[in-house]
Structure 1
Amino acid sequence: MMVEIITIGDELLLGQTADTNAAFLGRRLAEMGLEPLWRTTVGDHPKRIGQALSLALQRADLILITGGLGPTEDDVTRSALAQALGRRLILEQRVLQRIQERLKKNGQRLHSKLESLALLPQGAKVLDNPVGTAPGLRLEKNGKSLYILPGVPQEMRAIFEQQIAVALGNTAAERVVRRRRLRTVGIGESALSERLRRISREGIRLAYLPGPCNVDLWLTARSNRAKEAQALLSRATQQIEERLEDQIYGVDNDTMERVVATLLIMKRVTIALAESCTGGLLADRLTDVPGSSAYLERGVVAYSNRAKREILKVPRRILDRHGAVSQEVAIAMAEGVRKISGTDLGLSTTGIAGPTGATAEKPIGLAFVGLAHHEGSCAQRFVFGQDRRTNKECCVMAALNLIRKHLLKL
């Protein structure tokens, strides 16, 4: 079945609002075995909405439309669809009555603009809105199905889950789609692609989704039987894990901080942090996980050289000789915070986030992550990019990954 999603709204075209509706619908339809082949965004313009619908009717069997069903002047979806389909708008008394009942319950009065919510294209089936006023609609045209939903995410999702997903369930049952996300770190997209070049792709589609600090691999398996789709997915996952080993840090909705937190708790290891360039972001990530008091003893933001000397006891001679952004200082910071806190591990970050502070020898994006433990200390060098925020986030990811790999060896 050919599926298309159309989202309507000037705010989407202008980037004022993220198109979360299309993302939700794409994800849910794919889970049901109905992967969208096209996604169209169009502004609040009747003629262009009609053009988008006409094109969709030429190529798709199932069309889902969101947005423009409200009572204001820029909500023109109902009238645009009626015109494009050659149908009249009819005042649906049952819908009007439900709107009146909802408003009365909320202590509000019906006004003329709200009455427009009950104007529906002729032949439309009403999809009740359990959390809002504007109803959803279902229309048929030449054997093709159209579902029209409000643009408010909460309302759109409620109508989809309670009515559309049920209706589409039987249609999707003939085709099973299973998906899995493998989360990788420490390897770029091109290197990842080369590493996985020889794995079997039978029944599997592999997609790369690079982010600023890591790359996600999306595996999609399709089959007429759920058991076979799951077997294809498991086989591909095993092949990838054999090639990437510890560069996969999680699956599906795993986050790096949750993976690290789980390891710290499981192995009963405590940690203290000494941050410079990350400015507390590392502590923030580790405390995002509930129960973080079981492993995090303290976090110190030692931004200045004075703070590094006075709080972490980094020797002045090391700072003078190597500079604050150096392997030696990263190690001294990690050892210092571990000593003053009495924890099993000490972790540090120091770097040049940018856009200022660089030299010919130390460019923007240079960072060092230090780790101290009972067997010794080490530091790793990284060079990220030119954006300050991205550099901080990538340094945090690198620090968490260093801990993860250390804990896996314990």
Structure 2
Amino acid sequence: MNAEIIAVGTEILLGDIMNTHAQFLAKELAALGFDLHFQSVVGDNRERLVSSLKESLDRSDIVILTGGLGPTNDDLTKETACELLGENMELNQEALDRIRRYFSRRGQEMPENNIKQAMLPPGCTVFFNDYGTAPGAAIEKNGKCVILLPGPPRELIPMFQEQVRPYLQKFSNSNILSHTLTAFGIGESAIAEKLGRILENPNPTVALYAKDGEVQIRVTAKAATAELADGIIMPMIQEITHRLGDYIYGVDAPNIHSVVIGLLREQRMMIATAESCTGGMLSQKLTEITGASEVFEFGVASYSNRIKEKILGIPKEIIDRCGAVSSEVAMLMAIGAQREGNADIGVGITGIAGPGGGTAENPVGRVYVGVTYKNKYWVEKLTIGHGASDERDYIRKIATMHALNMVRLILEGSPRAVEALAPIPEIPAIAPLGRNGVAFSGEVNPEKAGAGEMTFVSADKELAAEVSPDGTAAVKRPWYQRLAMYIFPWKGDSAQEIIRKIIFLIALITLIGSSIYILDYLKAQVQIDSVFKETLSLYDREPTEEELANLPDGYLKKFAALYNQNQEIKGWITIPNSRVNFPVMQTDNNDYYLDHSFNRTSNRYGAPFVDWRCTVGANGQLSTNTIIYGHNGSGGKVFCDVKNYANLSFYKGSPTITFDTVYEESQWKVFGVILTNGSPDGGYFFQYHNFINAESDEHFEWFIRQIERRTLINTTVDVLPTDQLLTLSTCSKKSDLDDGRLVVFARKVRPGESASVDVRNATVNQNPLYPLSWYKQHNKTAPDFPNDPDPSGGDNTITPAPGDNTTSTYSRPDNTTSSRRPDDPIRPSSSRVSSSGTSSTGSTSSGGASSGGVTSGGVSSGGTVSGGTSSGATSGGTSSGNTSSGDASSGATASNDTSSSGTSSTASENESSKPDASSAASTPSETPTPEPEPTE
């Protein structure tokens, strides 16, 4: 549905005040799924307002008018809207009663002209105003809806959040769900900086709302069901919590004091309070919550110094010397409250709330908050407000919230609290704390305080001599010699002692080795986190003029800072509802970014990178299939979250991927997710990584069929031969495969096509095609698909592999070979001509004759070669799908070959290397042979 906003008010039109709520409403409407095409501002003029409203109703389903609902004659919004819609107005008694109560709470009589604000059309939906006098209303007429809202943001925003938003959800086709995180101790601008582009996320949306002393972060998602919407929201909440840490005090928490009461009840702790400038507000907040009596028994308002001295036991000389408003007195107030209340936690608040009483040293708004926890204390010095005389209530409220937040951080074991808490110093003439941190209230005689004192000998004080076996004093050995005698076998040790020391040494070496490994692992995590944070800041910030000057033609401006750091940057990839938000690199060596970060430092996690054979050019010049590899690192590193696409719920929450190349911004629709093996060792081998450019429409369609047979998720996304593809490849360590790969396929959103995907009909594929080893392990039979050879004549034909004993190697661009690590992405490569004794799979062969060797894959007759060529003489069979080259070979036959014109004379010699015959016959699965070597 289309929605529109009209702001009414001459003061907005003239620029006297800002139209601050327009941005708020625009974000809210977008989150609810409404299309907002127009916004306008109209002065307090009836004719112009009628004209604007008529035009809006002609083109929009919902029109929201803000402002012009006051009690004066020039407040015409409601009257004009009702007149245009043909609605009369009558007195709404409940609205009038609320307006009267608003004035009564302020000790004022309601002026007669405010009755006008209670005049509303009968049958409308009324939105009552808890923050002012003007109620809002929604009028539905002739399939249109006009919503009237007050102009002041402090009235409009809570009215919309609490009443209008639920009302509008009935017009939305989607289920809308929101969760709200609340942060304390950090400003709105600082949160916006930490969240960065999260605030631009389309679904779920993230919006910030600043309130007194805290900021609410609302995460809203829309989906087919509330359950799916919740599944979309939860990863975003986790990411926000990760970025903001202990500034977040709760999710959907009504307030901070309810959180503190809940923590106290969970941990069975008591709290006691002593308040000066807040005048009992902290006690009031605590007792508002049901169950507070279980954790709160003692609270005192200690405005006067007499109460501080007599009840809390603060020495008069300390008050005289330090002042009643000081960190020392705040600490002693907390100690006194903790003692008198026999509590685990004590809170003391002292300060100057105003309007008077401020000094140069302690101005209005200066507050000290002290908290004691067992036998430790923490004092915070606050400066609240700007010293204005009308901020007294604000100062008291913020001081109270700070105290509650300090208690929360202590109860949650926050590192900030652990670092801030210090041992309570010894203070004469005040009751000491007991061993549990609770002071005993009996009188203490300072003169007897030293009775029973114990003398401790420092650990580094050694005895002057050791006793030798004969009872005489032995010469004292240096400490390092004694340590060596304790650890290493020594002359005179018994056999039992030697065995003990050997076992100890083995354990010590193991511990040291493990510690080094763990430290190296943690170091790599810290390094990669630092690099990703640095690259994200480069990506988010505005580039300098110098950086823009060095940027190649056609590059997008947002890549300037990244290009200035590393010219091998090729794009940026983001997956919604995941931690995938990284730069994408490309170099002519596919090994390099397996273990190097964006800044070219060595790191086990590496960085996502494009296959070196793929084209990433200007004006949309991309290969048919752009392949991006990335490690599946723990803790959200690199492509860790890509594996979540194996779950239907994650796909439904993230059906599109954003991959912006350095030349253009693009979105991609996911259409397939497969589990396959990275080498022939695991059975059949589908070489998805060798499909770079389609040679024909038939070749493209063949590739899509292979994905459709294997996909774990059946999507509704269509794919055409004219589409450009994106492939994300990462290792899958929990796939029951020794060298497993989780591969995600997507296609580029076409020009003029919507990027949204209808995921309602997406389902789990109940019988996808897996590699042969998976069926062997699970003792299952693969689905029976017809043989489907690669029409390009490459080595991706659907035939059985040579056997599970095939050695898998990959070739680097420098023509050296190396074994693949099990967790590496596939080393992609392309075929090259091989000569004089080297076997090259899927390439033209030359140089030798093949005797008695039949390549895998099928029935051959009459010497016909399918899918390859052979320049050597062939004997005993023919080649199907692959060719053999190099030196003459005999007795080397591939599995499952038969020949109508003659069977290889040595076919039985390698019977043990064949896959299971029944499985092979019914499993037209992965492509055979090791990877082809790369072309320079």
Alignment TM-score, normalising by the size of structure 2:
0.33
Q: Which amino acid aligns with 1:2?
A: N
Residue 49 (structure 1) shift = 5.0
- For residues 145-191 of structure 1, give each alpha carbon's deviation from its aligned partner in whole angstroms, at most 9, with x where no partner exists: 1357899xxxxx9xxx9xx969x73x522x34332221001112222
Name the residue aligned to 2:408.
404
Q: Which amino acid aligns with 1:184?
A: A
Deviates more, 1:312-321 or 1:59-68: 59-68
Q: Distance in 2 between matches of 1:274 and 1:365?
A: 18
Name the residue aligned to 2:794.
none
Name the residue aligned to 2:140.
138
Instruction: Say which structure, 1 or 2, has more relative contact order (CA 8 Å, 6+ apart).
Output: 1
Name the residue aligned to 2:496.
none
Secondary structure in 2 matching 1:388 = helix
Residue 64 (structure 1) shift = 5.8
Q: Distance in 1 between matches of 2:371 and 2:82?
A: 65
Residue 36 (structure 1) shift = 7.3
Q: How does 1:17-56 map to 2 (within 5 A)?
A: 33-34=33-34, 47=47, 50-56=50-56
How many residues align? The count is 356
Deviates more, 1:52-61 or 1:183-192: 52-61
Name the residue aligned to 2:397.
393
Q: Distance in 1 between matches of 2:403 and 2:139?
A: 50
Deviates more, 1:216-225 or 1:323-332: 216-225
Say whether the 8 Å CA contact 1:203–1:223 is kept in structure 2: no
Name the residue aligned to 2:369.
369
Q: Note closer, same or farther for the CA distance 1:75–1:328 as it changes in structure 2 (3 Å cut).
A: closer
Residue 37 (structure 1) shift = 7.8
Q: Which amino acid aligns with 2:141?
A: L
Q: Which amino acid aligns with 2:394?
A: T
Name the residue aligned to 2:785.
none
Name the residue aligned to 1:14.
none
Residue 373 (structure 1) shift = 2.7
Q: Which amino acid aligns with 1:189?
A: E
Q: Note closer, same or farther for the CA distance 1:209–1:341 as it changes in structure 2 (3 Å cut).
A: same
- For residues 205-232 of structure 1, give each alpha carbon's deviation from its aligned partner in whole angstroms, at most 9, with x where no partner exists: 3322222311111223345665554333
Residue 376 (structure 1) shift = 2.2
Indicate yes or no: 2:277 matched with 1:273: no
Q: Distance in 2 between matches of 1:202 and 1:78?
A: 34
Residue 406 (structure 1) shift = 1.2
Q: Note closer, same or farther for the CA distance 1:403–1:253 as it changes in structure 2 (3 Å cut).
A: closer
Secondary structure in 1 matching 2:356 = coil
Name the residue aligned to 2:190.
191
Name the residue aligned to 1:182.
181
Q: How does 1:233-382 map to 2 (within 5 A)?
A: 233-382=233-382
Q: Note closer, same or farther for the CA distance 1:5–1:291 as it changes in structure 2 (3 Å cut).
A: farther
More strand by share: 1
Q: Note closer, same or farther for the CA distance 1:81–1:204 as it changes in structure 2 (3 Å cut).
A: closer
Q: Distance in 1 between matches of 2:349 and 2:37?
A: 44
Residue 38 (structure 1) shift = 7.8
Residue 257 (structure 1) shift = 0.8
More helix by share: 1
Name the residue aligned to 1:114.
none
- For residues 310-368 of structure 1, give each alpha carbon's deviation from its aligned partner in whole angstroms, at most 9, with x where no partner exists: 22111112111211111110010011112122122211111122333233332322211
Say whether the 8 Å CA contact 2:78–2:148 is kept in structure 1: no
Q: Which amino acid aligns with 1:285?
A: K
Q: Which amino acid aligns with 2:260?
A: V
Q: Distance in 2 between matches of 1:365 and 1:65?
A: 39
Q: Note closer, same or farther for the CA distance 1:26–1:272 as it changes in structure 2 (3 Å cut).
A: farther
Say whether the 8 Å CA contact 2:298–2:340 is kept in structure 1: no
Q: Which amino acid aligns with 1:398?
A: H
Secondary structure in 2 matching 1:312 = coil
Q: Distance in 2 between matches of 1:384 and 1:75?
A: 37
Q: Which amino acid aligns with 1:191?
A: A
Q: Note closer, same or farther for the CA distance 1:378–1:35 as it changes in structure 2 (3 Å cut).
A: farther
Say whether the 8 Å CA contact 1:67–1:150 is kept in structure 2: yes
- For residues 69-103 of structure 1, give each alpha carbon's deviation from its aligned partner in whole angstroms, at most 9, with x where no partner exists: 9xxx99988974576x5x8x699xxxx9xxxxxxx
Residue 51 (structure 1) shift = 4.2
Say whether the 8 Å CA contact 1:26–1:35 is kept in structure 2: no
Residue 404 (structure 1) shift = 0.8
Q: Distance in 2 between matches of 1:291 and 1:39?
A: 49
Residue 260 (structure 1) shift = 0.6
Q: Distance in 2 between matches of 1:208 and 1:388?
A: 26
Say whether the 8 Å CA contact 1:199–1:239 is kept in structure 2: no
Q: Distance in 2 between matches of 1:90 and 1:345?
A: 61
- What are the ranges of 5 or more consecutive residues in structure 1 without an aligned counterpart? 10-21, 97-116, 121-125, 152-156
- For residues 294-320 of structure 1, give each alpha carbon's deviation from its aligned partner in whole angstroms, at most 9, with x where no partner exists: 111121110122221122111112111
Q: Which amino acid aligns with 2:215?
A: V
Q: Distance in 1 between matches of 2:87 and 2:395?
A: 57
Residue 276 (structure 1) shift = 0.5
Q: Distance in 1 between matches of 2:307 and 2:144?
A: 66
Q: Note closer, same or farther for the CA distance 1:49–1:271 as it changes in structure 2 (3 Å cut).
A: same
Say whether the 8 Å CA contact 1:241–1:248 is kept in structure 2: yes
Residue 394 (structure 1) shift = 0.7
Q: Distance in 2 between matches of 1:241 and 1:129?
A: 37
Q: Which amino acid aligns with 2:194?
A: R
Q: Note closer, same or farther for the CA distance 1:35–1:379 as it changes in structure 2 (3 Å cut).
A: farther
Say whether the 8 Å CA contact 2:368–2:382 is kept in structure 1: yes
Say whether the 8 Å CA contact 2:65–2:77 is kept in structure 1: no
Percent identical pairs in the alignment equals 36
- For residues 111-168 of structure 1, give each alpha carbon's deviation from its aligned partner in whole angstroms, at most 9, with x where no partner exists: xxxxxx99x9xxxxx95889xxxx985323xxx61357899xxxxx9xxx9xx969x7
Q: Note closer, same or farther for the CA distance 1:316–1:48 as it changes in structure 2 (3 Å cut).
A: farther
Residue 286 (structure 1) shift = 0.8
Alignment TM-score, normalising by the size of structure 1:
0.69
Say whether the 8 Å CA contact 1:275–1:349 is kept in structure 2: yes
Q: Distance in 1 between matches of 2:265 and 2:139?
A: 50
- What are the ranges of 5 or more consecutive residues in structure 2 without an aligned counterpart? 10-21, 91-118, 127-136, 151-158, 415-936
Secondary structure in 1 matching 2:250 = strand
Q: Note closer, same or farther for the CA distance 1:409–1:3 as it changes in structure 2 (3 Å cut).
A: same
Q: Distance in 1 between matches of 2:66 and 2:192?
A: 36
Say whether the 8 Å CA contact 2:181–2:253 is kept in structure 1: no
Residue 396 (structure 1) shift = 0.4
